[in-house]
A and B are shown apart, each in its own frame.
Chain A
Amino acid sequence: MEILKKYPKLFQWLFLLLVFFGLCFAIDVPETYKFIRGQAEFVKDPNQSTYVFLGKEVRYYAFDVFWRLPPLLGWLPIWINDSLFFLMNEWMPLEFWNEDTQEFKTRPLLLEVSRKLTFFMTFLIELIREILIGGINTIVTFTGWDWISDNPWAELPGLPWTIVTAGAVLLSYHLSGKGLALFAGLTMVYISIFGQWKPSMQTLSFILVAAPLSFIFGLGLGIAAFRNKRVEKALYPILLVMQTMPQYAVLVPAMVLFGVGDHAAVIITMVVAIPPMILLTILGLRAVPPEVIEAGKMSGCNNWQLMFKVLIPTARRDILIGVNQVIMVCFSMAVISAFIAAKGLGYNLLLALNRLDIGLALEAGLCISLIAILLDKMSLAWANKQEDYFGNLTFIQRNKNILFFVGTVIVGILLAYIGTYLFKGTHNYLFEVPHNKGISTADFWNRGVDWIFDTFFVYIKAFNTWLIQDVLQPMRALYLRMPAIATIVLVVGAGYLIGGIRSALIVCGLTLFIALSPWWDRALVTTYMATFGVIVSCTIGFIVGTLSFQNKHSASFMLGVCDIFQTFPSFVYLIPVMMLFGITDTSVLIAVIVYATIPATRYTIEGLRSVPAGLHDAATMSGVNKFQRLTKIEFPLAFPHMMLGINQTIVFALFMVIIGAFIGTEDLGQYILKALSDKNGAGIGLTLGVCVAFIALIFDNLIRSWVEKRKKHLGIA
């Protein structure tokens, strides 16, 4: 009894586990239960039960409700889908003037809005694209195809690669200095020489449209949320779900609304990129010291002046970090939206992966990663840049970068002109290196992959078999063996013990949504893959982080490595694992592990770093050795921050598991991918995405509640 009083929490947890395992053993697997046929596969089978709700028929295999809950939300995806179609094709038909046929035509409002938006986006993308690589579509927009065929000279010529490269170098130099300028130069030259110029510029133009638009909308909504509590309250849950929703899942409804192509990709990228921008805007504005706001008010600012002349400039750094985030999301989406036929490097990458041409995929992946790193570093440098005392500078000194750029534009045009004489009859390499004329290393990589396969095939195969047969399949079977009621009891109980009744209710709601959807089994498989990844990632990240923390330089180095790895669009991680492990679950899991190890490592190092130096000194003066200091002082204090790392690790792992469906897994991701090619898939894709987001949010809620309590306890909130 003494022990019970001393550790009440411990016994509560033991009791919870006892109930959980009791339920697991008490409830048998029904004889008819088979995973693949699961709950609802939309095939007609006389053994299925049905119910009708809102006029939608839902079919499913009925089991004991303790084993699997019936899919009472099964109508939801169908209903979403139907509503979307209704909104698009029937809702509010209005008369619109048609330029081409010169008459009024009746069209549903939303369809017309979608058309107009599509037209506008396409125009923007084409404009920037044609400034970079030339074309005629922009001029066609203003004139017409007939005019173009009469005037064949009218074509935007596009910038020679020399000018774009010089521009990138100068901008990098202005923002950061020689190092970044050198990197920018090498990147651009690499892209050009290796014949990736055109797709790279297509991707770049996509980002140059999506990023600024996301920035503007994110900033606007962030300001609105900052000024009005009600807007913030309304936005907050949407932001939470959007941040944890796999990017795949948003593609499907976008396809229904906007069709396929670059414009749809830009719109959907905005949807994904705006939430982090909103969050960082709110964060930045909140961080403005109250006295600065008061100083603004006492200077007689009205609301508008206060916002744009005081608040936003003062919050400049946070807002620019938001820009950085937006750019990173844009890159990630640039690849994923290749699924809805956005042109550029992502499209090439996807094609190459589909044909299992690892060499080509690697080239495209490398290019996109290099550009991503470059833009990441540039935007960060911009955020951190501060002007210095300038009173003693002349006009030329102040504007030398602009003058330089004007100079290079002239030189570039001259060079391109000379090129037309130099390379008569062939391609003008001083203007653009065509896609198939660059140096290609694809063959080299493919041979390398073949060699690795030939040499190590036996070992890889052995490892593969061992992992799948002895680790993954038993683990998966265990997860699937859990009766639904046991899982719910475990999760809700944990919520109650960690965060009290409020937390328990939230977690219960999220779990029930998944349990009542038709995809509970799939969600279990997703969770099993994610958990496996998270456990391995956290172990690796924790060890690597702790080890590299022992030395200041290695810690900074490791954080730098994390930065770079995090910049790679998630899809790129699939290339090397497919190279080594082919198309198996192992590949997906290894990609998950590599990807999710990044936040685990980063947060371990940051957590250990956040331990105050004073405590460090105090411990040393108490005569602890290195190991004692680590275990007695640093770990306990750094642990809350490290737990936030685990939170991130879970989100990263889930993302990668879903993307891994591209290689072929049997989880929620597989269905999202299926929904992509299904014209009735919008509702399914969206509901599946929400399911994945909810899995992440369950863990998020539990971990955050714990961290908050712990931080309060330690007094470091």
Chain B
Amino acid sequence: MSEAVIKCESVYKIFGENAKKMLQEANGNVDAKTFQDNGCIVGVNNASFEVAKGEMLVVMGLSGSGKSTLLRCISRLTEATGGKIFIEGQDLLQLNNKELIDLRRNKMGMVFQSFALLPHKTVVENIAFPLQIKGIKVEESIGKAMEMVKLVGLDGRENYFPRELSGGQQQRVGIARSLAVEPDIWFLDEPFSALDPLIRKEMQDEFLRLQEQLKKTIMFITHDFDEALKLADRIAIMKDGLIEQLDTPAKIVLNPATEYVRKFTEEVPREKVLLIEDVMDKATDSVGDLKVLKDEVIENVAEKILTQEKTVGVIDDKNNLIGSINPSKIINTVFGGRRNGN
């Protein structure tokens, strides 16, 4: 794995007047309750993690869990109370105002839950806005913005005003705007939460298509566990400012670290989330004729496997046999240990 693009070391965000002082006195042992009694609210509590280049980290949590606060610390829309944040090795909290603005103009893009479009500018002007702020000439920025309009599929509507668009279309503008400066790091703060379920699904698919194409380093915030499973390379689950578990979707579903995480995983249709690789055995002897790819989602090959009586071989994309899977294992994974708490 190459060097981390985003790196957090013990990041704290505490709201309240004496936040800094209290944090120092707590000496790394922050308890939300004691802080609250002293008039401080703990937003983010000791968050440490890394996001690699091209990786999509989804931060999932219910409202008030501190997920948006964490994102705002990393984009420095709010100042973290303690800890260190590195963006491509640069110490974010040491940047002065000018350097910060430079970083945002060139490296960062952000999409907001309520779209946050400028009401007085048209679609194309909204998208060109970050470019013009950078000082790029009007014609050039409009030309670039038009490419973005096409990328998100809004051609023909570039001269509409935001209020003349539907929610889904407005968020497409928001996405296009955040991509206009071709940032390396892409922050998305619950981008699809304000949309209807059908539109949301459509936008998620669209988003995956875009990411396939662009390969950005992404931090994606959501309160929807299914959305997190669908999109994430890794998921961080937050509660009361603490990261409860940070892992790949499969590992979270198979091995929830805490009771809180387990509650989310209970209702998850595992056959849609887990890959063959996640449940296979390492043993490669006495496999039958059927071979399946390790990256296959269980749901897609379950029927094939279940009609076999013998153990099925698992291969990688270079056709090497790397493991095996027994039909009973499939049944066990999908139906086993649901109700009685595994």
Check if A300 sits within 8 Å of B133, measured CB to CB. yes
Instruction: Identify which of residues 287-331 in chain A touch chain B, using a CB-to-CB cut-off of 8 Å.
Output: 289, 291-292, 294-295, 297-302, 305, 309-310, 313-314, 316
Check if A298 sits within 8 Å of B118, measured CB to CB. no
CA distance A313 to B110 in the complex (A): 21
Q: Which residue of B lies closest to A391 (CB)?
A: B159
Of A294, A305, A314, A389, the residue contacting B120 (CB under 8 A) is A314
Of A298, A305, A389, the residue contacting B160 (CB under 8 A) is A389
Return B269 CB to nearest CB of chain A, in Å: 33
Q: Indicate whether B234 reaches chain A with its CB closer than 8 angstroms.
A: no
Among B1-9, B100-108, B222-230, B270-278, which stretch is in contact with chain A?
B100-108
Residues of chain A with a CB closer than 8 A to B108's CB: 298
Check if A291 sits within 8 Å of B112, measured CB to CB. yes
Check if B130 sits within 8 Å of A300, measured CB to CB. yes
Among A294, A314, A390, find the residue whose CB has the most chain B CB atoms closer than 10 A: A294
Q: Indicate whether B198 reaches chain A with its CB closer than 8 angstroms.
A: no
Residues of chain B with a CB closer than 8 A to A289's CB: 114, 116
Return B61 CB to nearest CB of chain A, in Å: 18
Check if A294 sits within 8 Å of B110, measured CB to CB. yes
Return A312 CB to nearest CB of chain B, in Å: 10
Return A319 CB to nearest CB of chain B, in Å: 12
Q: Indicate whether A387 reaches chain B with its CB closer than 8 angstroms.
A: yes
Instruction: Identify which of residues 81-123 in chain B touch chain A, using a CB-to-CB cut-off of 8 Å.
Output: 97, 101-102, 104-106, 108-110, 112-121
Q: Indicate whether B291 reaches chain A with its CB closer than 8 angstroms.
A: no
Check if A302 sits within 8 Å of B159, measured CB to CB. no
> Knowing A291-B116, A314-B118, A389-B164 touch, does A305 contact B159 (C-beta < 8 A)?
no
Return B285 CB to nearest CB of chain A, in Å: 56
Residues of chain B with a CB closer than 8 A to A313's CB: 118-121
CA distance A305 to B158 in the complex (A): 23
Residues of chain B with a CB closer than 8 A to A309's CB: 129, 133
Q: Indicate whether B177 reaches chain A with its CB closer than 8 angstroms.
A: yes
> Knowing A305-B133, A309-B133, A390-B159 touch, does A299 contact B104 (C-beta < 8 A)?
yes
Q: Which residue of B lies closest to A390 (CB)?
A: B159
Q: Which residue of A lies closest to B161 (CB)?
A: A387
Q: Indicate whether B326 reaches chain A with its CB closer than 8 angstroms.
A: no
Q: Indicate whether B134 reaches chain A with its CB closer than 8 angstroms.
A: yes
Instruction: Identify which of residues 470-484 in chain A touch chain B, using a CB-to-CB cut-off of 8 Å.
Output: none
Check if A316 sits within 8 Å of B114, measured CB to CB. no
CA distance A314 to B97 in the complex (A): 24
Contact with B along A657-699 (1 / 0, CB 8 A): 0000000000000000000000000000000000000000000
Check if B114 sits within 8 Å of A291, measured CB to CB. yes
Residues of chain A with a CB closer than 8 A to B105's CB: 299-300
Return B125 CB to nearest CB of chain A, in Å: 11
Return B324 CB to nearest CB of chain A, in Å: 49
Residues of chain B with a CB closer than 8 A to A301's CB: 101, 133
CA distance A509 to B113 in the complex (A): 48
Instruction: Identify which of residues 224-258 in chain A touch chain B, using a CB-to-CB cut-off of 8 Å.
Output: none
CA distance A622 to B71 in the complex (A): 48
> Knowing A298-B77, A310-B118 touch, does A389 contact B159 (C-beta < 8 A)?
yes
Return A317 CB to nearest CB of chain B, in Å: 9
Q: Indicate whether B171 reaches chain A with its CB closer than 8 angstroms.
A: no
Q: Indicate whether A388 reaches chain B with its CB closer than 8 angstroms.
A: yes
Contact with A along B166-197 (1 / 0, CB 8 A): 00000000100110010000010000000000
Q: Indicate whether A386 reaches chain B with its CB closer than 8 angstroms.
A: yes
Check if B120 sits within 8 Å of A298, measured CB to CB. no
Q: Indicate whether B282 reaches chain A with its CB closer than 8 angstroms.
A: no
CA distance A215 to B101 in the complex (A): 31
> Knowing A295-B112, A299-B177 touch, does A389 contact B161 (C-beta < 8 A)?
yes
CA distance A486 to B339 in the complex (A): 76
Residues of chain A with a CB closer than 8 A to B160's CB: 389, 391
Q: Indicate whether B263 reaches chain A with its CB closer than 8 angstroms.
A: no
CA distance A590 to B77 in the complex (A): 57
CA distance A305 to B104 in the complex (A): 14
Q: Which residue of A lies closest to B124 (CB)?
A: A391
Q: Indicate whether B201 reaches chain A with its CB closer than 8 angstroms.
A: no
Contact with B along A372-388 (1 / 0, CB 8 A): 00000000000000111
Check if B118 sits within 8 Å of A292, measured CB to CB. yes
Tally inter-chain residue pairs, CB-CB below 8 A.
77
Of A295, A300, A387, the residue contacting B116 (CB under 8 A) is A295
Q: Which residue of A lies closest to B109 (CB)?
A: A298
Check if B133 sits within 8 Å of A299, measured CB to CB. yes
Residues of chain B with a CB closer than 8 A to A298's CB: 75, 77, 104, 108-110, 178, 187
Check if A300 sits within 8 Å of B77, measured CB to CB. no
Of B101, B114, B117, B121, the residue contacting A300 (CB under 8 A) is B101
Residues of chain B with a CB closer than 8 A to A314's CB: 118-120
Q: Indicate whether B163 reaches chain A with its CB closer than 8 angstroms.
A: yes
Check if B120 sits within 8 Å of A300, measured CB to CB. no
Return A293 CB to nearest CB of chain B, in Å: 8
CA distance A9 to B163 in the complex (A): 50
Residues of chain B with a CB closer than 8 A to A389's CB: 159-161, 164
Check if A291 sits within 8 Å of B113, measured CB to CB. yes
Q: Which residue of B lies closest to A298 (CB)?
A: B110
Return B217 CB to nearest CB of chain A, in Å: 15
Residues of chain A with a CB closer than 8 A to B134's CB: 300
Instruction: Identify which of residues 296-310 in chain B touch chain A, using a CB-to-CB cut-off of 8 Å.
Output: none
Check if B130 sits within 8 Å of A299, measured CB to CB. yes
Return B274 CB to nearest CB of chain A, in Å: 36
Check if A295 sits within 8 Å of B110, measured CB to CB. yes
Instruction: Identify which of residues 388-426 in chain A touch chain B, using a CB-to-CB cut-off of 8 Å.
Output: 388-391
Among B102, B133, B160, find the residue whose CB has the most chain A CB atoms closer than 10 A: B133
Of B77, B118, B119, B159, the residue contacting A297 (CB under 8 A) is B77
Check if B163 sits within 8 Å of A386, measured CB to CB. yes
Of A300, A316, A387, the residue contacting B104 (CB under 8 A) is A300
Residues of chain B with a CB closer than 8 A to A391's CB: 158-160
CA distance A295 to B117 in the complex (A): 8
Among B75, B108, B116, B120, find the residue whose CB has the most chain A CB atoms closer than 10 A: B116
Residues of chain B with a CB closer than 8 A to A297's CB: 77, 104
> Knowing A294-B116, A302-B101, A309-B133 touch, does A388 contact B164 (C-beta < 8 A)?
yes
Check if A388 sits within 8 Å of B110, measured CB to CB. no
CA distance A260 to B68 in the complex (A): 60
Residues of chain B with a CB closer than 8 A to A316's CB: 119-120
Return B178 CB to nearest CB of chain A, in Å: 8
CA distance A466 to B197 in the complex (A): 72
CA distance A305 to B129 in the complex (A): 11
Return A390 CB to nearest CB of chain B, in Å: 6
Return A309 CB to nearest CB of chain B, in Å: 7
Residues of chain A with a CB closer than 8 A to B129's CB: 299, 309
CA distance A389 to B123 in the complex (A): 10
Among A291, A387, A391, find the residue whose CB has the most chain B CB atoms closer than 10 A: A291
Residues of chain B with a CB closer than 8 A to A295's CB: 110, 112, 116-118, 174, 177
CA distance A10 to B35 in the complex (A): 41
Instruction: Identify which of residues 251-291 in chain B touch chain A, using a CB-to-CB cut-off of 8 Å.
Output: none
CA distance A388 to B161 in the complex (A): 7
> Knowing A389-B161, A389-B164, A391-B158 touch, does A294 contact B112 (C-beta < 8 A)?
yes
Q: Which residue of B lies closest to A302 (CB)?
A: B101
Residues of chain A with a CB closer than 8 A to B120's CB: 313-314, 316
Nearest first, the 10 closest Cβ-Cβ pairs linking A and B are A300-B105, A391-B159, A299-B130, A295-B116, A291-B116, A298-B110, A300-B104, A313-B120, A291-B112, A292-B116
11 sample A-B contacts, Cβ–Cβ < 8 Å, listed by A number:
A289-B114, A291-B115, A291-B116, A292-B116, A294-B77, A299-B130, A299-B177, A300-B101, A305-B133, A313-B120, A314-B118
Measured CB to CB, the residues of B under 8 A from A are: 72, 75, 77, 97, 101-102, 104-106, 108-110, 112-121, 129-130, 133-134, 158-161, 163-164, 174, 177-178, 181, 187
Additional A-B contacts beyond A292-B116, A391-B160 (17; CB < 8 A): A291-B115, A292-B117, A292-B118, A294-B112, A295-B116, A297-B104, A298-B75, A299-B129, A299-B133, A300-B130, A300-B181, A302-B101, A305-B133, A387-B161, A389-B160, A389-B161, A391-B159
